[in-house]
């Protein structure tokens, strides 16, 4: 609910108006850092930017990123890091524009996805909502995969959405 309030406050503009999405990202990161109680240290790093987006893209994208970052911080590092919990969790959000598409990649260095994980049968309401927001409302794609241990381990989530929605 707090994420909805933060996003609503920043995006309470008319459809079709534009917002600087990078300001929204800063608010999202602060929200996640302030509200998620991790059992050990977690650092969120943001690289790149998406610039200015229309509110009809920015609003659902902001909600999706808030949920994905929150999930990464809350779940990636459970029972991870050994008895002294020396492992410092890092969640990276890489943002870029590729042609007419906004790309957001969230990667953590945590325990990775369960072997039987399938996005199509996500068991959490939040992840189901994110999947539907990205695919149905934004006409985009979302992929979640494990990162090989040799490459640092963890989970990689790639979200690709058009920068403008067709009317």
Distance CA(113)–CA(6), nearest Å, equals 28
| Cα–Cα nearest to 156, from 148, 166, 146, 164 | 146
DSSP string, 70-103: HHHHHHTTTT-STTTT-PPEEEEEEEEEETTEEE
Class of domain 2-162: alpha beta
Q: In angstroms, what is the C-alpha Rg of the chain?
A: 16
**Directed axis angle between helix 55-75 and helix 21-35, to 10°?**
30
* pLDDT for the residue numbered 33: 82
Place of tokens 């042609």: 99
Q: State the pTM of this model.
A: 0.87
The model's confidence at residue 120, banded by pLDDT at 50, 70 and 90, is: confident
* pLDDT for the residue numbered 87: 67
Q: How confident is the model over 60-104, as pLDDT tens digits?
A: 999 999 999 998 988 888 766 554 556 678 999 999 999 999 999
């Amino acid at each position: 609910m707090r994420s909805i309030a933060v996003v609503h406050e920043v995006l309470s503009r008319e459809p079709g108006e534009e917002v600087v999405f990078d300001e929204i990202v800063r608010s999202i990161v602060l929200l996640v850092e302030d509200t998620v109680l991790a059992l050990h240290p977690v650092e969120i790093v943001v690289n790149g930017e998406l610039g200015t987006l229309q509110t009809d893209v920015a609003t659902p994208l902001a909600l999706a990123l808030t949920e994905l970052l929150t999930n990464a911080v809350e779940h990636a590092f459970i029972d991870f890091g050994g008895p002294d919990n020396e492992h410092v969790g890092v969640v990276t959000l890489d943002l870029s524009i590729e042609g007419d598409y906004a790309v957001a990649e969230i990667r953590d260095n945590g325990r990775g996805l369960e072997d039987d994980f399938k996005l199509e049968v996500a068991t959490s309401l939040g992840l189901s909502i994110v999947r539907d927001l990205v695919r149905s409302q934004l006409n985009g794609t979302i992929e979640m995969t494990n990162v090989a241990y040799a490459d640092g381990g963890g989970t990689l989530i790639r979200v690709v959405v058009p920068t403008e929605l067709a009317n």
